[in-house]
Homo-oligomer: A and B are copies of this chain.
Amino acid sequence: MNDIPSYSLKQLAEQFSLEWRGDPEVQLSGIAPIEKAEAHHISFLENSRYQKYLSETRAGVVVLPRVLAEECRTNCLITDTPYLTYAKIAGLFLSRDLPSVGIHPTAIVDPSAHISSSVALGPYVVIGPNVHLDDHVIIGAGSYIGAGTHIAEKTCLWPHVSVYHDTEIGCSCEIKSGAVLGGDGFGFAPTPSGWHKIPQLGRVIIGDRVSIGANTTIDRGSTQDTVIATGVIIDNQVQIAHNVSIGENTAIAGCVGIAGSTHIGKNCQIGGGAGIGGHLVITDNVAIAAMSGITKSIREPGQYIGRGGMGVDTLKTWLKLAAKLRGIDKILARIKKLEE
């Protein structure tokens, strides 16, 4: 939606301190996958699945590891970390469609709120009493920030985010549209006349550099807080129940549900669609397969899969078991032979 910038190979090599081969003056004005790139595109190669395209790509430049530089038929930038380097270069071509510094005249800010002068508030934003918004916070159109919430510097909310009262959000976080943070947890006591709601007195606490996906929901704690540590990344449509804690740099893919009072460690990776039961402890460095149903705590790092009513296993154990189960025809044949 803006004029597209253009850079020479030499400019990119200097800006990112990279070794290069080829024509230093080739002009690059965009990014494309290696198999689809044209002469003005930058591509990268890290996944060996795509190595076959290296000899035939029409890309203007490929970002790749030294070991592949010889095979490259076009210009290249050499790095030990092609994907990360690509990410940094791609940032040159990114335009973000967020409000500029200043308060849109239709934003409603409670007089008791503390708003840095470098904050950007879009149209129809609502900021409650005693909210603190630090430097360079950006709040997209129509988002709602409840009373007493604090958002630290450089955090960005896209349009239509709902943040309930007394939530703490760290710096440099990004929260996508439709996310709901701090709603009451799902706590009810049974009584003879029906369910009696338990007051949810805890908060939601979000660390720094946390990414929260679209339509993801994170409930406030009942007595304790729900805590998402620094560096956690959460995809779209994830549900995190009350009193849950998630350790640093854990990654949670789309459509995951985590039930109440479960504690997940650092550097975990939870596959898409997985469900994790309540009151469990998952230690650090655990990877959980997509669509898993995890019904018990995991105390040792490793790769796990949960098949709901079939139990929770390491991936290795499960794959052996599944292969034997799939071989039931052979079992039946052997029994038949014995019977004969």
Interface residues of A (CB under 8 A from B): 1, 30-33, 36, 49, 81, 83-84, 86-88, 90-91, 93-95, 97, 106, 108, 122-124, 126, 128-130, 140-142, 144, 146-148, 158-160, 162, 164-166, 174, 176-178, 180, 183-184, 186, 188-189, 191, 194-199, 201, 209, 211, 213-215, 217, 219, 223-224, 230-231, 233, 235-237, 239, 241, 248-249, 251, 253-255, 257, 259, 272-273, 275, 277, 279, 289-293, 295, 305, 307-311, 315, 318-319, 321-322, 324-326, 328-329, 331-332, 334-335, 338-339
| Neighbouring B residues of A176 by C-beta, 8 Å | 180, 183-184
Contact indicator B123/A196 (Cβ below 8 Å): no
Tell me the smallest distance from the CB of A269 to a CB of chain B, in Å.
Answer: 10
Provide the bound-state CA to CA distance between A57 and B150, in Å: 32
Provide the bound-state CA to CA distance between A290 and B178, in Å: 25
Provide the bound-state CA to CA distance between A308 and B128, in Å: 45
| Neighbouring B residues of A217 by C-beta, 8 Å | 178, 213-215, 236-237
Provide the bound-state CA to CA distance between A165 and B275, in Å: 33
Provide the bound-state CA to CA distance between A53 and B290, in Å: 36
| Neighbouring B residues of A148 by C-beta, 8 Å | 1, 97
Provide the bound-state CA to CA distance between A223 and B335, in Å: 55
Provide the bound-state CA to CA distance between A61 and B234, in Å: 38
Contact indicator B305/A186 (Cβ below 8 Å): no
Tell me the smallest distance from the CB of A37 to a CB of chain B, in Å.
Answer: 9
Contact indicator B324/A328 (Cβ below 8 Å): yes
Tell me the smallest distance from the CB of A51 to a CB of chain B, in Å.
Answer: 15
Closest 5 CB pairs of A and B: A1-B148, A291-B293, A97-B165, A162-B177, A273-B275
CB-defined A-B contacts under 8 Å, sample of 20: A1-B130, A87-B189, A88-B196, A93-B201, A97-B146, A97-B147, A124-B126, A176-B183, A178-B178, A186-B213, A188-B211, A188-B233, A188-B251, A194-B231, A219-B236, A257-B273, A291-B293, A309-B319, A324-B329, A335-B335
Known contacts A214-B183, A236-B217: does B251 contact A195 (CB below 8 Å)? yes
A201 in complex: contacting residue of B31, B224, B257, CB < 8 Å: B31
| Neighbouring B residues of A199 by C-beta, 8 Å | 87, 90-91, 93-94
The closest CB in chain B to the CB of A37 belongs to B223
The closest CB in chain B to the CB of A315 belongs to B309
| Neighbouring B residues of A209 by C-beta, 8 Å | 194-195
